[in-house]
Amino acid sequence: MAEAYFPVGPGLGMEENFLSLDDILMSQEKLPGRAESALPRLAVLLGQGAGSAESVPEGSKLEIPLWLAKGLHDSKRRIISVELPKIYKEAWRTVFSADANVVDLHKMGPYYYGFGSQLLNFENPENPEIAQTDSVCSLQTFIARFRRIMDSSQNTYNEDTSALVARLDELERALFQVGQKGLNDFQCWEKGQASQITASSLVQNYGKRKLTEVDG
């Protein structure tokens, strides 16, 4: 229980943590965009064209990962302009306001909340209120779902939780695991196992994996 490995956690809000593995995975998610000018030789890089001299014509639609969108985006929008993925748009917002608990957030992109916060980085000057309502909506979705997450994490002990966890995105899963850990620790203490010295999970994993032996 006294674990010593503390990985770098995801960033909060609009900033990512550079060294956070969660943020790296999250920024790999794709988002739809539009090429604002002809982009020479990009076609072969994105796998769309055959010849190396082909350029992606102006105005064509692209799906690019977030890290690339952040790097190529500037306020004058000379190269790339991005739009909100459909999950963050009007249609889905009505679904969320109807009943937020039903939505399978893992399928919508496992980093719904983190990605949504990152989208605020792209100033879309024509839609400031979408950004506003977007953050409000994410927040309300979160509030609605949080209660159920907290409740289920504190009350399922030693059960198979995969059905519950399948519909949560990564942030919610982290919260769920924290709740479960607290519950498990408490149960351990109640059983009197709190003073039992245990082999750490790192050690147990090394034991299970058959690492190659060194000769000589």
Residues in contact with other proteins by CB under 8 A are 1-8, 18-21, 24, 37-42, 45, 67-68, 71-72, 79, 192-200, 202-204, 206-207, 211-214
> Least Å distance between CB 160 and other proteins?
27
Residue whose tokens read 């620790």 = 185
C-beta atoms surrounding 137 within 10 Å: 19
Of the two residues 65 and 128, which places its CB atom closer to other proteins in the complex? 65
CA 119 remoteness from chain centre = 12
Of the two residues 160 and 208, which places its CB atom closer to other proteins in the complex? 208
Q: Which of 174, 169, 161 is nearest to 138 (CA)?
A: 169
Of the two residues 8 and 139, which places its CB atom closer to other proteins in the complex? 8
> Least Å distance between CB 114 and other proteins?
16
> Least Å distance between CB 70 and other proteins?
8
> Least Å distance between CB 150 and other proteins?
27
Give the phi and the psi of residue 30 in degrees, each rounded to 5.
-90, 155
Of the two residues 94 and 196, which places its CB atom closer to other proteins in the complex? 196
C-beta atoms surrounding 178 within 10 Å: 12
> Least Å distance between CB 18 and other proteins?
6
Pairing of strands 61-65, 30-35: antiparallel
Of the two residues 62 and 103, which places its CB atom closer to other proteins in the complex? 62
Dihedral sign for Cα atoms in the order 13, 15, 21, 24: positive
> Least Å distance between CB 126 and other proteins?
23
Tokens describing residue 154: 């504190």
d(CA 150, CA 163): 15
Q: Are 54 and 44 in contact (CB under 8 A)?
A: yes
Of the two residues 27 and 138, which places its CB atom closer to other proteins in the complex? 27
